[in-house]
Amino acid sequence: MRRVAVVGTGHSQFCFNSPKTSVELLSEVAIDAMAEANVKPKDIQAINVGNVLGDFEEGQGMVQSFFANDIGCFGVPASRFEGACASGSMAIRDAVMWVASGYYDIMLAGGVEKCTAMPTSLATRTFSMFGDSRYEYPAGFTFPAVFALLAHLYSKRYSIPLDKLKDQMAAVSVQSHEYAMKNPNAQIQKQITKEDVLNSMMISSPIQLHDACPFSDGAAAIIIASEEVAKKLVKKPVYFAGMGQSSSGKLSSQSKYLPGLHARELACRQSFSMSGLTPRDIDLVELHDCFSIASIIAAEDLGFFGRGAAGEAWERGDTRLGGKIPVNISGGLKAKGHPIGATGVSQVIEVTRQLRGDMAEQGRQVECAKYGLVDTLGGDGVLISLILSAA
């Protein structure tokens, strides 16, 4: 299998109520990505797109075909992937395989979502279709409720009093907002304090408003190429060193692993094994922080902190720039935003730009970063892990 690299990136402003269609949002970032990669539409041999709600929210299914044609990629294979909030990462992992196998040399992988046209209460209900709809949703398991349950389980399992855990969760959100202020594409550009988090509206106890990511519109796209082609196109290709994917069923079927997610452990075991790396080798992480408790659980599942220890790590600043393992220096889903089909692609772009050393100008560069990890969770059912390498 050949090595595959990211050679171009395009990332929209994440926002509330974009006036653009999904096809338009995706087209704009694709053109940016092609420009950065020094390729033209005719060079793109196939397209993978992550998109979840195109038909449901915008009345437009199969956005990938219309998008491909609109950007001048005529007649190429264009496939849509859906794995809830991990759809974008799923599209990328699959594209990497098509190039690694030698079938294609250059592909575009993107993701797009418009989540904000509907009222927030309807959005929460809509998202819950990506949990188990038949038994668990009717029992009250929207995603805020799922993560509230995990927070209670976490508190009990690791003997961390809920008040203390809430302080730790607040530290996660405060850090994300701080870094998002340095990211011009972030949806929320506003500093918050621990008190802001603890005084915010209760959603599903102990999850408060500022423990949750926003609903977002946005798009992101990358161009990938085989190593040989990549070296001809750009000065700093960023390589895929490892990848893994795993899925699970209903939340109730995962009970013996909770609050940890077994699918995450399986997925990152694959990506670490493929890359020959360990958590100690990783210089930065973009992980799936749909809720602040999700960040804490993910950082432990991924092996960066011991069980029950990640919250304190956030409080100590171990997850900051210069800390033990910088986490979500983009602002994360919490403050950068979470246009679900685009999120995995956005994470890969953040890590790519960090590994290229592009983030100094935004004042949030992870110095001398060689390896970065992307972790994307879809619903409570799918996990994707991607490791990128600067060389």
- Active-site residue set: 85, 338
For 219, half-sphere exposure in the C-beta direction (CA atoms, 13 angstrom radius) is: 28
For 126-140, letters b (16+ CB in 10 Å) and e give bbbebbbeeebbeee
**Backbone φ and ψ of 377, nearest 5°:** -110, 130
The residue (of 89 and 168) whose beta carbon lies closer to a second copy is 89
Q: Are 34 and 101 in contact (CB under 8 A)?
A: no
* Assigned token pair, 80: 């849509």
Nearest distance, CB of residue 128 and a second copy, angstroms: 9
The residue (of 172 and 263) whose beta carbon lies closer to a second copy is 263
* Contacts with 23 (C-beta within 8 Å, 6 or more apart), sequence order: 60, 63, 66, 67, 70
Question: Where does residue 381 rank: exposed (0-12), middle (13-18), buried (19+ CB within 10 A)?
Answer: buried
For residues 171 and 320, give the distance between their C-alpha atoms in angstroms, rounded to a whole number.
11
234: closest CA among 30, 71, 6, 44? Answer: 6
The residue (of 263 and 298) whose beta carbon lies closer to a second copy is 263
Provide the 3-class DSSP secondary structure of residue 284.
strand
The residue (of 133 and 193) whose beta carbon lies closer to a second copy is 133
The residue (of 95 and 313) whose beta carbon lies closer to a second copy is 95
Binding site for a second copy (CB under 8 A): 1, 21, 23, 46-47, 51-53, 55-56, 58-62, 64-66, 68-70, 74-84, 90, 94, 97-98, 100-103, 129-130, 132-134, 137, 245-250, 253, 262-263, 266, 378-379, 381-382
For 389, half-sphere exposure in the C-beta direction (CA atoms, 13 angstrom radius) is: 16
Q: What is the 3-state secondary structure (H, E, C) of 17-39?
A: CCCCCHHHHHHHHHHHHHHHHCC
The residue (of 217 and 283) whose beta carbon lies closer to a second copy is 217
